[in-house]
Amino acid sequence: MLLNVENLSISFGRKKKLVEVIHDISFSVAENEIVGIVGESGSGKSVTSMAIMGLLPKKNTTIKGTIAFNETALLNLKDTTFQKLRGNEISMIFQEPMSALNPSLTCGFQVAEILKIHTKLSSQEIRKEVISLFEKVKLPRPNILYNSYPHQISGGQMQRVMIAMAIACKPKLLIADEPTTALDVTVQKEILQLLKELQKETEMSILFISHDLGLVSEICDKILVMYEGKIVEQGTKKEIFQSPKDNYTKALLASRP
């Protein structure tokens, strides 16, 4: 297994006012697999992904259980080791590409920075690599886009820049937390298609998080249903759609348009 989460519980706050938001969840992501987490807003999807990324606040956060990536236990890993892992082997894209991109730096520069930090490539090689990444994520006119600022491109294009950044170091796992929620429906489909294609090509695993069961079922091999901080059901797409066991899953299926 590439990622193994076992009996994970997460609480925020201090002793007397401790609030548990993730309750004893277990799941795994195999190599070359797309796993979906679906659940309504506030069900604990982002907290779970932040725990895997090691990005939860240290203060007043209590984590129990284990998270193993390629057999390395992630919780309690040294900050510097985690940083390397985060840049190279696990990466993430978010709902709002605008909030993750720096408005005062060009798109090309921002992707180049990642390669500068994590590779030994020369600046010429880096520029070439950024252009080829832009081609890979199907951005139009990569040479012009290299010098464009985030506000000069569309939301869908921004998300493509974020994806280029996320795959720059060829991660083994990509966590996509509501990557299409802020986008128009047609652009959503394109981004989904792109993620599918990139996954096939690179064989990276993807943990795809969304409140939208339709989207999740379009891209994922395995689906986890999350409700109020628990995984109430997990199974293949077929199992979830044809024989849902949990009442929340049944309600989710019934509420689809």
Q: Which residues bind ligand ADP (CB under 6 A)?
A: 12, 21, 39, 41-47, 57
Task: Give yes or no for residue 46 binding Mg ion (CB under 5 A).
Answer: yes
Give the closest residue to 207 by CA, choosing from 74, 42, 11, 27. Answer: 27
Using CA atoms, how far apart are residues 9 and 183, in angstroms rounded to an integer? 32
Q: Which stretch binds Mg ion (CB under 5 A): 45-53, 108-116, 128-136, 238-246?
A: 45-53
Q: Which stretch binds Mg ion (CB under 5 A): 42-50, 51-59, 62-70, 71-79?
A: 42-50
For the beta carbon of residue 254, count every other beta carbon within 10 angstroms: 8
76 binds, among Mg ion, ligand ADP, none (CB under 5 to 8 A by kind): none
CB of 13 to ligand ADP, least distance (A): 7
Beta bridge partners of residue 25, listed in sequence order:
8
Using CA atoms, how far apart are residues 52 and 74, in angstroms rounded to an integer? 7
Beta bridge partners of residue 27, listed in sequence order:
5
Closest to ligand ADP by CB, 39 vs 156, is 39
CB of 94 to Mg ion, least distance (A): 9
Closest to Mg ion by CB, 46 vs 157, is 46
156 binds, among Mg ion, ligand ADP, none (CB under 5 to 8 A by kind): none
Q: Which residue is nearest to ligand ADP (CB)?
A: 46
CB of 32 to ligand ADP, least distance (A): 26
CB of 213 to ligand ADP, least distance (A): 14
Question: Per-residue DSSP letters for 180-248?
Answer: TTTS-HHHHHHHHHHHHHHHHHH--EEEEEES-HHHHHHH-SEEEEEETTEEEEEEEHHHHHHS--SHH
Q: Give, in order, the Cα–Cα distances in Å from 97 to each of 107, 148, 186.
A: 12, 15, 17
21 binds, among ligand ADP, Mg ion, none (CB under 5 to 8 A by kind): ligand ADP
Chain residues in the site for Mg ion (CB under 5 A): 45-46
